[in-house]
Amino acid sequence: MVNTLYLPELREMLAENNAAELREFSTALHAARTAEFMEGLTPAEAWGVLAHADPETRAEIFGYFDRDKQIEIVENSDRADIAQLIINLPNDDRVDILRDVNPEIVQDLLPHLPLSDRRDILRLQSYPEGTAGSVMTTAYARIPEGYTVRQALEELGRQAENIETIYYVFVVDDREHLRGLVTARQLVSAIGKPNTKIDDIMERDLVTVRADEDREKVAQEVARFDLHAIPVVDDDHHMVGIITHDDVIDVLREEASEDVYRMAAMEPLVENYLEAAFHSIWWKRAFWLSWLFLAEMLTLFVMKGFVHSIDKVVALAFFVPLCIATGGMSGTQAATLITRAMALGHIQLSDWVRVIRHELAIGIALGFSLGAMGFVGAYLATDHATLGGAAAWKFSLVIAQAVMAICLWGTLVGSMLPLAFRRFGVDPAYASSPFVATFVDVTGILILFSLAEIYLF
């Protein structure tokens, strides 16, 4: 939903190039809100408005534009201006943006940047998407060992301008090894005793991550230890950057979406649903849907294989949807439960035996309840005129057994598939309802008709 409240005024200010009012507009509100009011503007217009804001505010507001608008502005505006903008963007965000910009344009831009920023961008770009390195920033507060509280506070005052957060101050030795952490809270509390040595109050047992670790692991650590930011180190414990809580929140939201989409057997949608391009949504859904459809065709041939049973007792065919739905639903529950438990770090691969035992018990319990219902349903549905009472009983028992067996089977398959996927390095979320359902549909029909052939003919 685009916020159009200020659009007319904005366009008017632009038309008459009213510098004063445009500057006023760009500073009056929180940058995120200002960006929201500019949603309706074209990238060119938006950039025109930002031209009147001071560089810091400009970068701040720009940071809240949606990605497409950012890209278009970067690619189509004066290189020098963009370079200025990039200098003022947070180190991690600007790398994310440049990732999506036409590489040739990035090459044009880099020379306009100070050497330090250029180096920083190239280094951060070297970390693959999804790793801790790809979401970290190199702009963190650092002080050498041996400082006092007063020195630290003064140094922090100097750095405050250019760093992402001042709340964690990292103590590094002369070779950039991470030695400890002192929080702004500790510094402020010690303001009364300015000569306290940092080394005496700093935290030495730090939770750290390596730059090549999965960003999901980072999120888990930060959530578990309630951290404001987590330091990123290389193999020799050199400090290379930090990941702050706001980046972790973004990671958690993205990862949650990814899992949910994959559980529905579609490729994750990165953009806003209503703004996503038709072909992109179509492809993300059609791809898996087609494969699943092909797999599901197996049911066709299985059914065909049992045509003689259907000819004998056509009623069997009536129960196919019920039976395969039972497997699909129980499988979906199990798969979801296990996938989520893994995502939250509650179960590891090594727990698979406990999981099987667990799901075996649950599957049997669920199977009995559904089987009982199935029996009643079958008994009511079979027409006793043609089949006769005894046969109806026997038939209903077969259905009940089939429902029970398929429910248990679905539960076991659903609980083991995610673990198997993880074991082979595939995202467990892919072991989702449609996959489990498709697999269980085919096998479910086999179970139903096999039981029928054993007991009925």
**Residue 454 sits in the site that holds a second copy (CB under 8 A):** no
Q: How far apart are CA 303 and CA 120, in angstroms?
A: 62
Q: What is the DSSP letter of 212?
A: T
The interface with a second copy within residues 379-438 (CB under 8 A) comprises 381, 433-434, 437-438
Bridge partners (DSSP) of residue 243 are 230
**Residue 249 sits in the site that holds a second copy (CB under 8 A):** yes
Minimum CB separation of residue 112 from a second copy in Å reads 27
Q: What's the one-letter identity of residue 117?
A: D
Angle in degrees, CA 398, 399, 405, rounded to 5: 90
Q: Using CB under 8 A, pick the residue from 8, 55, 146, 321 that binds a second copy.
A: 321
Minimum CB separation of residue 16 from a second copy in Å reads 26
The interface with a second copy within residues 1-40 (CB under 8 A) comprises 1, 28-30, 32-33
Stretch that binds a second copy, among 102-110, 208-216, 330-338, 389-397 (CB under 8 A): 330-338
- Mapped onto helix, strand or coil, the DSSP state of residue 176 is coil
> For residues 37 and 3, is the Cβ–Cβ distance under 8 A?
yes
Of the pair 145, 296, the CB lying nearest a second copy is at 296
Q: How far apart are CA 221 and CA 452, in angstroms?
A: 53
Question: Total residues at the site for a second copy (CB under 8 A)?
Answer: 121
Phi-psi group of 232: left, alpha or beta (phi > 0 → left; psi -120 to 50 → alpha; rest → beta): beta
**Residue 349 sits in the site that holds a second copy (CB under 8 A):** no
Of the pair 52, 262, the CB lying nearest a second copy is at 262
Minimum CB separation of residue 173 from a second copy in Å reads 21
Of the pair 95, 109, the CB lying nearest a second copy is at 95
Q: What is the DSSP letter of 207?
A: -
Stretch that binds a second copy, among 11-19, 39-47, 230-238, 310-318 (CB under 8 A): 310-318
- Mapped onto helix, strand or coil, the DSSP state of residue 182 is strand
**Residue 80 sits in the site that holds a second copy (CB under 8 A):** no
Stretch that binds a second copy, among 50-58, 67-75, 232-240, 299-307 (CB under 8 A): 299-307
The interface with a second copy within residues 159-178 (CB under 8 A) comprises 160-161, 165-167
Cα-flanking dihedrals φ and ψ of residue 147, to 5°? -70, 160
Of 53, 29, 39, the residue nearest 7 (C-alpha): 39
**Residue 195 sits in the site that holds a second copy (CB under 8 A):** no
Q: Which two tokens stand for residue 29?
A: 């509100």
